[in-house]
Amino acid sequence: MLSRTLQRLTQGELIERERAMDFPHATTYRLAPPARELLTVMAPAAE
């Protein structure tokens, strides 16, 4: 379930995925610029 959600968020360009090439392979996810912008705009509404 988590992998499907991460895949959808990546395809929707809300998160970015980075995979390390060394062993052991580590995958890192971070918010994409459009998602960061959305959070900035929505923060006042959440408060």
Specify the pLDDT at position 23.
85
Kind plus residue range of the DSSP H or E element containing 3: helix 2-11
Specify the pLDDT at position 47.
83
Q: Are 9 and 15 in contact (CB under 8 A)?
A: yes
Considering only CA atoms, which of 13, 45, 46, 47 is closest in space to residue 29? 13
pLDDT tens figures, 6-46: 999 999 999 999 998 888 889 999 999 999 999 999 988 88
Specify the pLDDT at position 20.
87
Specify the pLDDT at position 25.
83
Neighbours of 9 (CB within 10 A): 17
**What 3-state DSSP class applies to 29?**
strand
